[in-house]
Chain A
Amino acid sequence: MELLDLYRLMYRIRRFEERVERLFLAGKIPGFVHLYIGQEAVAVGVLAHYRPGDYLTSTHRGHGHALAVGVDPKAMMAELFGRAPGICQGKGGSMHLFDADRGMLGANGIVAGGIPIAVGAGLGLRVLGREGVVFCFFGDGALGRGVLHEGLNLAALWRLPVLFVLENNRYASTTGFAESHAFRVPALVTAYGVPYLEADGTDVEQVYGATAELLSGIRMGRGPAFLEAHTYRFKGHYVGDPERYRSRQEVEEARRRDPLANARGKLLASGVAQKELEDLEREEEELLEEAVAFAERSPWPDPEEALTDLFAEPVGDYPWGEG
C-alpha cells in the first residue's frame, strides 16, 4: 500500500468528520456524534491490511473505521442523517453503523461491546475453517471492562485470529487514563501470552508497519495479537463537549502532531508533486460534497418501516393487526 493511498483515506475521514460536525451543529444530524478527528492514522494504518473475508468491530467513535474499510460515504452520511437510503435504513445511526458487505460488525454504543463479538467472529472463522482475521477496535476506556480481559484470555486460549487494536487517546470521556487504570497495558497483554506492539498513532506508516508485523503471526494461525496506538482526539468527546477535563494548551500541543499534516509533509518530502496532492484532495472534496448532497435529498424512512427487520423469519403479527 502506498502512502498516497493511505493519505487519501485519512483525508477523507478528516473532511467527512468536519462536515459531520458542521451538519450536527446545524441540526441536520440527529443523535450524538463522536468524531474521529486526530485518530485517522490508526483506522487507516490498520485497515489498509483488510482483505475481503476479514471482519472488524468498532466503537461509538466509529466513522473512521467505517470509512477506512471502504464503507460508501454516501450511504454512511445518509445514515447519519437518518434517511431511508442510509446504510442501516436509518435504524442504526452514528453509534450503530453496520456494513455486512465489508465485514463491518458494528460501531457500538456500549464501550467494549464489540470485543466479545470480535472474539466470537474469530471463533466462527475457525469453526468454519475460513481464512480471515478480525480487527477489534476499542478505546482506552474499554480496558476497565471485564470483557476485554475475558476476551483476551479466550482468544489466547483458543488461538483465535483477532487483532486487538487499542486506540489510546488518553481519555475516556472526562476521565484521564491514569485515573482509571492501575496496570500497564503491555504487562496486562503479555500476561495472557499475547504478542504486543505499540505504535505512534499519529504516524500512519508506523501503524501500518506494526500491524503488518502482528498480522503475519495471526494469519499463520498463531493466535491473537495486540496493537496499542498512542493517539489523541482533537475534538471533544462528543460534539458539544465543554471539555473541562483537559487544558487548551494540552490540546494545542497534541494538534501540532497532526497525523494528516504529518503524512502530507512526508509525501511532499518524498517528491510527490503538490499538484498531485491537490488533485487528490479535490476528488475527495467532490466525493464528500456528493455524499452530503445525497443525504440532504434522500427521503425520510416511512414510519411503518420502524416495525420491520426485527427477525429474519416471519413471526406473524397480532391477529388483530397492530404493532
Chain B
Amino acid sequence: MREITFAEATREAMEEEMARDPRVFLMGEDIAKQGGIFGQFKGLPERFGLERVRDTPISEPTLVGAALGAALVGARPVLDIHFADFLLLAMDELANQAASIRYMSGGKLRVPLVIRAPDGAIRSAGAHHSKSLEALFLHLPGFKVVAPATPKDAKGLLKSAIRSEDPVLYLEHKALYPRKGPVPEEEYLVPLGRAEVIRPGRDLTLISYSLTLHKALEAAELLAGEGVQAEVVDLKTLYPLDWDTLLASVERTGRAVVAHEGWRFLGPGAEIAATLEERLWEKLKAPVARVGAAHVPIPFSPPLEHRVLPQVEDILKAAKEVLAWR
C-alpha cells in the first residue's frame, strides 16, 4: 500500500468530501494563503475557491459560533482552529451553544459541524501552544471527540466526522503531521465510535490514542523483550467510546494501563479506569493504572517539558506496577 503523511491524509479527506458534497466548506486562520501551518490544506483553495476555503480574522468565538450557525441552516462547515489551546477562547460557543443546541431544541435541530484542532506538545512550544484538552470536551455532553493516531485513521475518521450529523471535535496531534503510514488509494471510511486492538497480547492491555498510542506501542515492544505480551488498543474515538472492544480486551488480560498526553488528574484515563473497575471488578488482577501529564501548565524548557509529558518509560513503569500484582 502507498504511504502518505498524516497531514496529507487529512488533506485528501477534505478534498474528497468537498468534492462529494457542495455543502461542505472550510474556514480558519491562515489556511488559504499558505495551505495551513502544517501544510494540511495545500491545494484546497486552488481547487475549491475562496468561497469554500476561507481565511478569517483572528476571532475564535465568532468563528465557532458562525460555523455553528452555518451548520444549523444546512451547510457542513469544517472549522480549523490554529492550535487546540485557542478552543478555550470560544468556550461559550462550544459548550453553551454548539454542544447543547440540538438537545435544547428537543432534537429538532442538527449540528453537522467539524472543529479541527491541532493539539499536544511539540518542540517546546510553551504553555499556550501545547495543551491536550480532550478531557474538557468529553466532560461536556454533546461532542463527539476523535483523536486519530495514524494517517489511515486520520483520513477515514475525518471523512466520517464530516458526514456526521453532530458536532465533532477532531483532535490532531501536531507531532503526527509529518508521520507516514499506509493509506488505501480507494475510498474508505473509518467509523466513529470504534476502537481497534492493534497489537494482540494476553498479559495486559495498554489503552491509548493519538500520539501517545505510539509510545504505548514502543512500551509494548520493550515489554515483549522481557517476555510480556501487551495488547494495545487504539481508542480512535473518545466519545462515543467503544466499550465493547475495551471491556473484551481487559476481560481477557485482567490488567490495564491507560495512557494519554492530557493531564492525568481527571483525564480520560480516570473515567476509563473507573468504568473498567466497575464493570470488571472480579476479572481484574490489578488496579487500572493511568499515565498522563503532570499537573502543571506545559513548561517551555526541554527537560521540563520532557518531565511533565508522559514518556515511554512512564508507560513501561506503570505496566510493570500493574504486572507486579499477584
Chain A residues whose C-beta falls within 8 Å of the C-beta of B302 in the assembled complex: 30, 82, 300
The 8 Å CB contact of A86, one of B126, B295, B301, is B301
Chain B residues whose C-beta falls within 8 Å of the C-beta of A245 in the assembled complex: 33-34
Contact with B along A108-119 (1 / 0, CB 8 A): 111111000000
Q: Please count how many residues in chain B sit with their CB below 8 Å of the partner chain's CB atoms.
A: 35
Interface contact A303-B303, CB-CB below 8 Å: yes
Contact with A along B136-158 (1 / 0, CB 8 A): 00000000000000000000000
The 8 Å CB contact of B307, one of A82, A142, A180, A304, is A304
Stretch from B50-58, B197-205, B209-217, B272-280 at the A interface: B50-58
The 8 Å CB contact of B55, one of A92, A180, A301, is A180
The 8 Å CB contact of B126, one of A83, A96, A172, is A96
Question: Residue on A with the closest CB to B61?
Answer: A146
Chain B residues whose C-beta falls within 8 Å of the C-beta of A172 in the assembled complex: 29, 57-58
User: Chain B nearest CB: distance from A89 CB in Å?
Assistant: 8
Interface contact A146-B62, CB-CB below 8 Å: yes
Given contacts A146-B59, A175-B55, A303-B304, A244 and B294 within 8 Å (CB-CB): no
A179 to B297 alpha-carbon distance, docked (Å): 34
A144 within 8 A of B: yes
User: Chain A nearest CB: distance from B322 CB in Å?
Assistant: 15
Question: Residue on A with the closest CB to B127?
Answer: A96
A310 to B294 alpha-carbon distance, docked (Å): 11
Interface contact B58-A111, CB-CB below 8 Å: yes
User: Chain A nearest CB: distance from B130 CB in Å?
Assistant: 9
B123 within 8 A of A: yes
Interface contact A109-B59, CB-CB below 8 Å: no
Interface contact B124-A30, CB-CB below 8 Å: yes
Question: Residue on B with the closest CB to A86?
Answer: B301
Interface contact B306-A109, CB-CB below 8 Å: no
A224 within 8 A of B: no
Interface contact B55-A179, CB-CB below 8 Å: yes
A244 to B305 alpha-carbon distance, docked (Å): 32
Query: Which of A83, A96, A112, A244 counts the most B-chain CB atoms under 10 A from its CB?
Result: A96
A144 to B62 alpha-carbon distance, docked (Å): 10
Given contacts A82-B302, A305-B304, A306-B304, A145 and B58 within 8 Å (CB-CB): yes
Given contacts A31-B300, A173-B30, A306-B296, A95 and B126 within 8 Å (CB-CB): yes
A303 to B302 alpha-carbon distance, docked (Å): 9
Contact with A along B291-322 (1 / 0, CB 8 A): 00011110111111111100000000000000
Interface contact A112-B303, CB-CB below 8 Å: no
Residues of B within 8 A of A (CB): 29-30, 33-34, 55-59, 61-62, 85-86, 89, 123-129, 294-297, 299-308
12 additional A-B pairs beyond A93-B124, A109-B85, beta carbons within 8 Å, are A31-B125, A31-B126, A32-B123, A90-B300, A91-B304, A110-B86, A110-B89, A112-B58, A141-B58, A172-B57, A245-B34, A323-B295
Residues of A within 8 A of B (CB): 30-32, 79, 82-83, 86, 88-96, 108-113, 141-146, 172-175, 179-181, 242, 244-245, 300-307, 309-310, 323
A-B CB contact pairs (8 Å), 17 listed: A30-B124, A30-B301, A31-B300, A32-B123, A32-B126, A90-B304, A91-B127, A92-B127, A93-B124, A111-B58, A141-B57, A142-B58, A146-B61, A175-B55, A301-B301, A301-B303, A307-B296
